[in-house]
Structure 1
Amino acid sequence: MPATGPGQRRPGHPCKDALAADIPSRLTKVSSDYDDMLYTLHERAPHAKILAVGYPTVIPKDTSKCGYNDPHQFGTITQGDLDWLRQDVLEPLNKTIEKSAGTNSAATFIDLYDSSQNHSVCDAGKWTEGILDDNNNPAFVHPNAKGHRNAADHLAPALLNAIGIN
């Protein structure tokens, strides 16, 4: 295969090939564990209000925006794997958390995914850093200040509503 550099995306989906078979069982386990956690929280604090926060958009719908071998994005993860990770891992994980929260009367799901569209690691106006941030510090694909601001904008009203301050 020809060498690839920044901006060039290597084909294929080696992560999917190696891991896809286990994802359904892992999501089932996450669902069970999340249900158990919410139940235990409610049992130990029956008057508590629980805010279950989903993941933001990390990977864009158009993964051709993501450069290959770029540590400020996803390093050497292929475009095929990025598509798979978004569609078959991240989006179902958010649905799993939302479903678990929906089965517990004390829990409310906070969706950050929709509000963070077009602000992924590979977008110019990103709210999530890649493996490294712009200063070459480890970020490990976590929200930056703008991503945290978006989360706060969604959490604050939910929190105020949960404690009865509208």
Structure 2
Amino acid sequence: MPSHARLLVTGLLVACGTLAVTVGVTHFDGDSPAPPGKGPYVALGDSYTAGPKIPDQNGDPAGCDRSDRNYPSLVAVGLGLKGADFKDVSCSGATIADLAGKQSTEDGTNPAQLKALSHGTRLVTLGIGGNDIGFARTIERCVGMGALYALTSGFAPEDAPCARRYGDGVQDRTEAAGAKLAGALGEIRRRAPEARVYVVGYPAILPSDADRCGREMSLAPGDVTFLREQEQRLNAELRKRAEAAGAAYVDTYTPSEGRDACSAQGTRWIEPLVPKSPAAAVHPNARGERGMAEAVLRRTRSAL
């Protein structure tokens, strides 16, 4: 997600994460799929794919904030892919439009991600959509309102000042992102007709127990529920569009429940506003990227 979004309250610069990696096995032409491990493999996506601030950062341009321990890198290792058989072109701040067009970052320009595909590509993962619905911006607003509200009013369990102000239009934005994703999946099919395609969903960012997220995230309890439901709605749309296009969907939400930004430091996959592990705020840490990689690898193997 790197037009880095400013995540209020702590004054942190957050590399906006496009939360969603679709993991899917797509067999567009009806032939039997090639075995997993036989690349080339191309990883597409936003900051939840790239892994901003997780060491070591590598790749060009530097502004994409790719980690060599992000889930695509770990999937490549798990499948025994090396060198030219693996290409990660994910970039923080990416929207679905950046798949087909150049993306400017604070440190360089990322070429259109789809340019990495070819008729020789055999595996594609795609994690994108969060930036298209403005999820990082919504969290920023909710954090700001939550901090102010806590100082002036205190919280009741049902309080949701951000949802009341910004809740309208969520479904429309999500459906619009889904329509864009459908077009992108069609273009992936055209450029890489022999590839298995996996759409990777976003992991759980916030807990089901809204009352335990005030300290780490400065959110009103009702807004924790609002944001959690917004993410679930996005994942459902990603799944629907993936399956309609013949791609497979990778569920990273279920294995990450209880490992959200408000869970214990030693178990969480997502860092809170003030990260305790090397990672961007409200983004996966190394443990989270590893968990997402395991979900992708399970999906590719079960698909066979």
CA contact (8 A) 1:131 1:138 kept: no
The superposition leaves residues 7-50 of structure 1 with CA deviations (integer Å, 9 ceiling, x where unpaired) of xx634322212221110110110110111111111122111111
- Whichever residue aligns with residue 273 of structure 2, its letter is I
CA contact (8 A) 1:57 1:117 kept: yes
- Whichever residue aligns with residue 19 of structure 1, its letter is Y
Change (3 A) 1:21 1:98: same
How do residues 101-120 of structure 1 correspond to structure 2 at under 5 angstroms? 101-105=242-246, 107-120=247-260
Map of 1:59 onto structure 2: 206
Map of 1:10 onto structure 2: 155
Separation of aligned partners in 2, 1:44 and 1:32: 19
How do residues 1-166 of structure 1 correspond to structure 2 at under 5 angstroms? 4=151, 10-11=155-156, 12-68=159-215, 73-74=216-217, 76-87=218-229, 89-105=230-246, 107-124=247-264, 125-134=267-276, 139-159=280-300
CA contact (8 A) 1:132 1:138 kept: no
Change (3 A) 1:138 1:151: closer
Q: By how many angstroms is 1:158 displaced? A: 3.2
Identity of aligned residues (%): 28
So what's the TM-score if we normalise by structure 2? 0.46
Going by fraction, where is strand more abundant, 1 or 2?
Answer: 2
Change (3 A) 1:160 1:19: same
List, as ranges, runs of 4+ consecutive aligned residues in structure 1 with deviation greater than 3 Å: 1-4, 157-162
Structure 1 unmatched runs, 5+:
none
| Corresponding residue SS for 2:180 | helix
CA contact (8 A) 1:128 1:144 kept: yes
Separation of aligned partners in 1, 2:165 and 2:282: 21
| Corresponding residue SS for 2:190 | helix
| Corresponding residue SS for 2:249 | strand
So what's the TM-score if we normalise by structure 1? 0.81
